[in-house]
Structure 1
Amino acid sequence: MMMKYIKQHGIWYLVISFLSVGFLVSFALYHLPMIYFGMTLLFNLIVLIPFSIWHFLSFRRQLRLLANFRDLWEIAELSSPLDESYQKALSAHNDKAQQEVFRAQSQASRQQDLIKMWVHQMKVPLSAVSLMAQTNQLQSDDVNQQVIRLEHYLENLLTYLKFSERQDDFRFEQISVNELIKKVIKKNRILFFHKQLSVEVTGDWQLKTDKKWLSFALSQILDNAIKYSTAGGKITITLTKNSITIADQGIGILPEDLPRLFEEGFTGYNGHEHQKASGFGLYMTKQVLNQLDLAIEVTSQIDIGTEVVVSKRKNEAF
């Protein structure tokens, strides 16, 4: 404890020592009576020693308070300007830490709710396959359709977790969006066939982007187009040098739902009515496209269809 005190305040005792030596030299050079110097030094020591003892005890008490405190109110009695500054800094740090804890708890709660939701969703295709097996009606196309749904739900879940934990990197390269969208269509061909949907792809878009994450975003958009298209309809995909437009002839989206499409967990009327939406597909799509510096815009009319446009941001130049 004494060494800490000397380390903290020893400089002032060193200054006092130098001043005393300076006075001694002055007295000697001017041949002043040394008795006056001795009396002055003795008086200073009489004042300095009790003050030093009190100051050391106060310093020791402060260290013990700081070593054992758990809440800021326990060190409120430390009222020097420096102590108050430290307390303000600690209070700000404590508030920030509490906010971080609250955000982490909220994130954990959202993830738990999300996982519960996805478990419930994945029970639907699993139950369908189980029923097919029990009734000896296992058709390869029907089974493949349910497997694709399961893969889609799992992909959404894993992507959400990666984004929420920020554990994935983007790798940009020059790609053909035409080739990419055709791979996405091929991956979902069973779903097209099941609803007897036709698809038309025209044009191309040479874009520097992350192929994996753009594929995920386009898969979400196309999955919604398939999900809410009427049987026998058509999905049109048009590419230009700056955008991709995916248009369906489905049931459409209510005007009041359009502004909230990209909110986390929002399903809207169609999602509730058809019990197919998790509320995270378009949310994740928006998050991914933001990271890719791309914009997304949705327009829709009830019973006519929905059009989704993904394009370069106007203030960006790729």
Structure 2
Amino acid sequence: MIKNFLKERRSWIVLFICLQFLVLFSGYIDSAISFMPLLYIVFLSTLIFVIFLCFRFHKETKFYTALAEWENDLDLTNIAEAESPFEKIIEDSIVNQTELLKQTVSNNWVSVEQEKDELLSWIHEVKTPLTAMHLMIDRLEESPIKAQISLEWLRIHLLLDSQLHQKRLPFMKNDLYIEETDLKSLLFKEIKTLQTWCMQKRIGFEVELEAASVLTDAKWLAFIIRQLLTNAVKYSEESDIVLRSFIEGDRSKLMVQDFGRGIDKKDLPRIFDKGFTSTTAHHDNASTGMGLYLTKKISESLLIHIDVLSEPGVGTIFTLTFPRKNEFGAILGM
């Protein structure tokens, strides 16, 4: 700040120095003027000028130091009060711009809220005929056509479900209910949802639950498992998917293992990125690249750690590590 102050007052300092040299030069060339008294006057005036600069530095930089330390968080209480007319101009400009920005943010937030509510309302409206359609499909006799219709219904259902959770994600902290969640009922419910698709691809499940329950939010955990199972089924053919829960140390873990296509090594660091759809099957237009992104975001909010092991042509293992019970204060207070 001192360097900036001196740079700002550079022209005044140069002018003062030039005036002192002018006084000394006048005494030097005019023999009628005693040189030593002039030198004494220049010394005193220079000393006074330096003291004056120090005083002005504290007074003039107080406002700008507060601006430099301002965190740009729209909170103007930490900014020092303007004292000079020019500082007042800056203060008025900042206040006006901040108020305008607050108003813009408020209007945008209301707009986002309205759009979210409208989309959620639309999704729930669409789910009603989808439910009726599912009941009608169940009444049809078993046939290849029924299997195909059921599969297309499932795809629509999963897409709507993903959209629903994507819109709810920013407000997830308002929708959490931490409780002991029975893994068996949750897993079998998700397996049943994918049953038609699994039968078509001849995929079975091996379920081994050493840890019968975990402490988490059941609804959001169901979405995570749904995404992992959907990916496992999508990239597998005529093989089993292994679901195994166990306790390691003081943490519960859930493993989802498939023996499908696997993930290329260069893609592993990016699978949770928004919109990433794999480089080995870039032609797969059915993939949105949102499933694993949402899974990661939700897992982070629930303090669930996800590990991934995969080898092309061998399969993929997703392991969910649940937090300790004493860590849930961080979830509820986020």
Equivalent position of 1:207 in the other structure: 214
Give yes or no for the alignment of 1:172 onto 2:175.
Answer: no
Give yes or no for the alignment of 1:163 onto 2:173.
Answer: no
**How far 1:300 moved relative to its partner?**
0.7
Q: Which amino acid aligns with 1:308?
A: F
Question: Does the Cα contact within 8 Å between 1:162 and 1:168 map onto a contact in 2?
Answer: no
Give yes or no for the alignment of 1:296 onto 2:306.
Answer: yes
Match of 1:183 among 185, 189, 193: 189
Question: What SS class does the counterpart of residue 320 from structure 2 fall into?
Answer: strand
- How many residue pairs get aligned? The number is 213
Q: Which runs of 5+ in 2 are unaligned?
A: 1-83, 113-142, 329-334
Note the 1:8-157 alignment, pairs <5 A.
79-91=85-97, 139-157=145-163
Name the CA distance, whole Å, in 2 between partners of 1:210 and 1:314: 14
**How far 1:208 moved relative to its partner?**
1.7
Equivalent position of 1:11 in the other structure: none
**How far 1:103 moved relative to its partner?**
10
Q: Which amino acid aligns with 2:195?
A: R
Identify if the C-alpha distance between structure 1 residues 262 and 297 changes in structure 2 by more than 3 Å, giving closer, same or farther: same
Q: Which runs of 5+ in 1 are unaligned?
A: 1-77, 107-136
Identify if the C-alpha distance between structure 1 residues 278 and 247 changes in structure 2 by more than 3 Å, giving closer, same or farther: same
Name the CA distance, whole Å, in 2 between partners of 1:287 and 1:97: 29
Q: Which amino acid aligns with 2:234?
A: K
Identify if the C-alpha distance between structure 1 residues 271 and 277 changes in structure 2 by more than 3 Å, giving closer, same or farther: farther
Question: Does the Cα contact within 8 Å between 1:271 and 1:277 map onto a contact in 2?
Answer: no
Q: Which amino acid aligns with 2:284?
A: H
Question: Does the Cα contact within 8 Å between 2:198 and 2:233 map onto a contact in 1?
Answer: yes
Question: Does the Cα contact within 8 Å between 2:260 and 2:314 map onto a contact in 1?
Answer: yes
Identify if the C-alpha distance between structure 1 residues 278 and 101 changes in structure 2 by more than 3 Å, giving closer, same or farther: farther
Name the CA distance, whole Å, in 2 between partners of 1:204 and 1:217: 20
Q: Spell out, residue by residue over 1:215-268, the C-alpha distance to the aligned partner (whole angstroms, 9 max, x if none).
A: 0110000000000012x1111111013110101011111111111111111111
Question: Does the Cα contact within 8 Å between 1:178 and 1:239 map onto a contact in 2?
Answer: no
Name the CA distance, whole Å, in 2 between partners of 1:287 and 1:138: 38
Match of 2:261 among 251, 261, 271: 251
Q: Spell out, residue by residue over 1:110-138, the C-alpha distance to the aligned partner (whole angstroms, 9 max, x if none).
A: xxxxxxxxxxxxxxxxxxxxxxxxxxx86
Name the CA distance, whole Å, in 2 between partners of 1:239 and 1:296: 14
**How far 1:190 moved relative to its partner?**
1.0
Identify if the C-alpha distance between structure 1 residues 263 and 99 changes in structure 2 by more than 3 Å, giving closer, same or farther: farther
Give yes or no for the alignment of 1:310 onto 2:323.
Answer: no
Name the CA distance, whole Å, in 1 between partners of 2:108 and 2:277: 25
**How far 1:289 moved relative to its partner?**
1.3
Name the CA distance, whole Å, in 1 between partners of 2:109 and 2:253: 36
Question: What SS class does the counterpart of residue 198 from structure 2 fall into?
Answer: helix
Q: Spell out, residue by residue over 1:4-25, the C-alpha distance to the aligned partner (whole angstroms, 9 max, x if none).
A: xxxxxxxxxxxxxxxxxxxxxx
Q: Spell out, residue by residue over 1:21-54, the C-alpha distance to the aligned partner (whole angstroms, 9 max, x if none).
A: xxxxxxxxxxxxxxxxxxxxxxxxxxxxxxxxxx
Deviates more, 1:83-92 or 1:266-275: 83-92
Equivalent position of 2:200 in the other structure: 194
Name the CA distance, whole Å, in 2 between partners of 1:312 and 1:302: 27
Name the CA distance, whole Å, in 2 between partners of 1:244 and 1:175: 13
Question: What SS class does the counterpart of residue 300 from structure 1 fall into?
Answer: strand
Name the CA distance, whole Å, in 1 between partners of 2:107 and 2:306: 33
Equivalent position of 1:225 in the other structure: 232
Deviates more, 1:263-272 or 1:163-172: 163-172
Name the CA distance, whole Å, in 1 between partners of 2:105 and 2:280: 35
Name the CA distance, whole Å, in 1 between partners of 2:144 and 2:92: 71
Question: Does the Cα contact within 8 Å between 2:308 and 2:318 map onto a contact in 1?
Answer: yes
Match of 1:238 among 244, 256, 260: 244
User: TM-score scaled to structure 2, two decimals?
Assistant: 0.56
Identify if the C-alpha distance between structure 1 residues 90 and 256 changes in structure 2 by more than 3 Å, giving closer, same or farther: farther
Question: Does the Cα contact within 8 Å between 2:214 and 2:322 map onto a contact in 1?
Answer: no
Name the CA distance, whole Å, in 2 between partners of 1:260 and 1:88: 41
Question: What SS class does the counterpart of residue 243 from structure 2 fall into?
Answer: strand
Question: What SS class does the counterpart of residue 310 from structure 1 fall into?
Answer: strand
